[in-house]
Amino acid sequence: MPNFQALLESAPLPDLRLRRRAAHLVQSMVRGQSANSLGCLSPADATQESFTRGAYRFFDNGDVTRTALHTPMQIALRELISPSETAIVAHDLSVLNYSGHNRKEDLIPVGNDRTWGYELFQSLVIKAGVPVGVAITELRCNQGNLSSQSDEEIPLGDHLEQAERAVDSVEQLLPERLLIHLLDREFDDVRLLRNLAERRYVIRYRNLSRIVAVHGERMSIWRHLESLDLQQSGEVTRRFAHSTQTYSLWLGETEVTMQNPSLRGVQKRKQKPQPGVPLRVRVVVSELRQPGEQPLRWVLLTNLKESTFSVVGRYLERWKIERLFYFEKIGFRLECWHQENAERIAKRLLLVQMAASAVYQLSQATHDKSIQVMESLAKLGGWTGRKQTPIGPTMLMRGALLFLGAMQLIQLHKKRDLFAMARILEPSLGQILRR
């Protein structure tokens, strides 16, 4: 597990004071979030007000750059993913809703265009099924894209250009690693596929009406897949909130050639279609079937040489970036931050990503004592203790927040004073002390 405290104290920030401030901020984020209006939870040796004022000055400091704050994460990723190792990189974007934050003057319409906020694009590195850290972050505001890779605003483009830029940056960051890039169906684009031809990828197909060539005959991919034979490949159990359902898994594959020019930018930016070389693509089809229900189908584009079952398993890893967005929004209260512009939000987000990586590594404890501590914290955070229910990072953070609050109380007050406070509060809060 990388030591982010040590990495931050050697980060390329102007002076030791700022490096230590960054380390304290990450420490507070790992410990959990306090009230929305006060920002980060202070460590035991600082008051809440002084710590919050220091955080405000830190994020507003022009000498604190995005690239400097992202450097420790880049070093950690290189340490955790060794050359020749296989890692998955899931790329995706999420909408940040700040409609109620009237002081933020650089918001843009997001989602349904009636919501105001920012667009967050991230590339999450995953190793052996465990999230390792965020390699690329871009926050889109009305000034442009604020990237972890540059201290200058990147001109506004489209999400496909973001994905191409992210893939190139991750490949440069982690050379000699076997990287597999995962993208959802909004990134289904002929030009992007041609740019990915020399990399490993799995992309979910969206445009089933696209004309492709199959054995020299031109037809829509949808028409071709109608005649594709799928083979039963086992069963899959889907877990819902209060139940589970078992489906039969059917898999099949084919190969098509994409010859048409890319139409990116033709409709919105009046650009000309962009021709390209014919591209042979492997198509993997997955269906979950249950009697009396419509099949749940995925159509995946890939150039992996693995089995169809393995390709589908690779794509399932993409769900972890959705959980990262959830962790950032719920665990770290991203949409409640009161920094007044995207630059400050981006800087805080880069520190949060280090805190999230530390929590992910903590959740993978293997030593008996560490597992016992982790489970105790998770129970404080709401874990039921059932082995079939995985311990999530948000549970760990909630438990850590309660534990640290209890430790601060013990240090600040005597035991008899705490019991006296409990008796005074019981008429209002209900039974507190065990009888």
pLDDT category at 342 given cuts 50, 70, 90 is: very high
Strands (E) in 29-159, as ranges, are 86-97, 108-110, 115-127, 130-141, 144-147
Question: pLDDT by residue (tens digit) across 183-215?
Answer: 999 999 999 999 999 999 999 999 999 999 998
Average pLDDT of the residues of the chain: 88
Q: How many CA atoms lie within 13 A of 109 on its CB side?
A: 3
Contact 54, 27 (CB under 8 A): no
- Asked whether residue 219 is domain-assigned, the answer is yes
- Res 38: pLDDT: 44
Condensed to tens digits (0 to 9), the pLDDT of residues 135-158 reads 999 999 999 999 999 999 998 888
Looking at the fold, whether 322 and 368 belong to one and the same domain comes out as: no
User: Is residue 80's pLDDT more than 70?
Assistant: yes
Whether residue 260 is found in the same domain as residue 391: no
The pLDDT assigned to 32 comes to 64
Task: Give the bridge partners for 94, in sequence order.
Answer: 120
Q: Which two tokens stand for residue 355?
A: 């805190």
Residue 293 forms part of a structural domain: yes
Do residues 81 and 177 make contact, with C-beta atoms less than 8 angstroms apart? yes
Q: Would you state the pLDDT for residue 51? A: 79
- 106 found inside a domain: yes
Q: Which domain holds residue 375?
A: 363-429
Does residue 368 share a domain with residue 297?
no
Both 215 and 323 in a single domain? Answer: yes
Instruction: Note whether 276 and 174 are same-domain residues.
Output: yes
Tell whether 262 and 381 lie within a shared domain.
no
Q: 3-state DSSP call for residue 201?
A: strand
Q: How many residues does the chain have?
A: 435
Domain with residue 224: its CATH number is 3.90.350.10
- Is 370 found in the same domain as 239? no
Kindly state whether residues 124 and 72 are assigned to the same domain: yes
pLDDT over threshold 70, residue 34: no
Name the pLDDT band for 40 (thresholds 50, 70, 90).
low
300 and 377 belong to one structural domain: no
The answer as to whether 47 is a domain residue is no
How far is the C-alpha of 357 from the C-alpha of 371, rounded, in Å? 18
**pLDDT at position 36:** 46
The whole-number average pLDDT for the span 32-44 is: 52
Q: Are 415 and 281 members of one domain?
A: no
Does the residue 39 lie in any domain? no
In a domain, 157, yes or no: yes
SS3 content of the chain, % helix, strand, coil (to 5): 40, 25, 35
Contact yes or no for 256/221 (Cβ under 8 A): yes
Q: Are residues 367 and 330 in the same domain?
A: no
Looking at the structure of the chain, the number of domains it has is 2
In this structure, the answer to whether residues 309 and 163 fall within a common structural domain is: yes
Answer with the one of 318, 335, 352 that is the final residue of a domain: 335
- Cα–Cα separations (whole angstroms), residue 306 to 211, 282, 389: 26, 11, 30
Lowest mean pLDDT among 176-190, 336-350, 381-395: 381-395
- pLDDT greater than 60 at residue 298: yes
Looking at per-residue pLDDT, the higher value among 408 and 104 belongs to 104
d(CA 277, CA 98): 43
**Residues 219-256: pLDDT tens digits?**
999 999 999 999 999 988 887 767 788 999 999 999 99
Domain-located, residue 176: yes
Residue 166 lies in a domain: yes
Q: Name the helix (H) or strand (E) containing 231.
A: strand 231-239
